[in-house]
Amino acid sequence: MPTTITINPDTPDELSVREIVLCLRNGGIIIYPTETFYGIGALFTNESTLKRLFAIKQRDPGKPVLLLIPDVSFIKNISSIISPALETLSRYFWPGPLTLLIEALPHLSPLVTGHNRTVGIRISSNPVVQQILALLQDGITSTSANISGDVSPACIEEIPDTLLNAVDIVIDGGKTPGGSPSTVFDISSAPFKTVREGAISSNQIMKVLEVAG
């Protein structure tokens, strides 16, 4: 059975955050709240844990998962290219629900890069996630806490028991805002394109790039 940690989403307590970070460092999998829905997370560098996560979600290994990172400086661990578009969009939209697809370093697992060898990254605006990653100083997977293809959950009650019982820690931060998932925008090569419409519109993104251009 997993450990359930009830946490104040606005002011996460330090002891709980330390327990969660220790779990992740030891190869554990967590369910956690974000600024949109609940996600399921594991260290992106732990291949065996990634495989376990895919099995829990019943997710196609050919569909890579996105990553949450602690800060912009962490990108050097993921990609060798920090493009002007990445600098502009991260400065304007992060923390927030914009996932940017960038070229991945060759050592990253195909479970996070897929066949195109790109990786999706963002910085979450959720205080729980921010504190976890600030202490962890590593990246974790960001994929909905559901069985692949099912509805994304905005609260613990919407997550199936089979999934809840398969992870190591469940963080109950109350109801999340829900709405649209993060927008996925590909800046790995020109022309840039929207892969998934979400909380931030394509028009907003393109206007920011045009102004910066």
Q: Which amino acid is at 42?
A: A
Q: How far from chain centre, in Å, is Cα 180? A: 14
Tell me the pLDDT tens digit for each residue of 61-96.
999 999 999 999 999 999 998 999 999 999 999 999
Alpha helices in 58-154 (DSSP H): 84-93, 110-113, 127-136
pLDDT tens column, 107-150: 999 999 998 899 999 999 999 999 999 999 999 999 999 999 99
Rounded distance, CA 73 to CA 86, Å?
12
Q: Please report which confidence band the pLDDT of residue 58 belongs to, taking 50, 70 and 90 as the band edges.
A: very high
Is residue 213's pLDDT more than 80? Answer: no
Q: What is the pLDDT of residues 95-105, one digit of tens each?
A: 999 999 999 99
Mean pLDDT of the chain: 96
pTM: 0.95
Mean per-residue pLDDT for 48-62?
96
What integer is the mean pLDDT of 171-175?
Answer: 96
Count Cβ neighbours within 10 Å for each residue of 112-122 and write b for 16 or more, e otherwise. Answer: bbbeeebbbbb
Classify residue 156 as exposed, middle or buried by CB count within 10 Å of its CB (0-12, 13-18, 19+): buried
pLDDT band at 18 (very low <50, low <70, confident <90, very high): very high
Task: Label residue 98 exposed, middle or buried (CB < 10 Å: 0-12, 13-18, 19+).
Answer: buried
Q: How confident is the model at residue 156 (pLDDT cuts 50, 70, 90)?
A: very high
Looking at the domain that runs over 3-212, which CATH code has it been given?
3.90.870.10
Average pLDDT of the residues in 13-18: 96
Tell me, what's the pLDDT at 60?
95
How confident is the model at residue 197, as a pLDDT?
Answer: 95
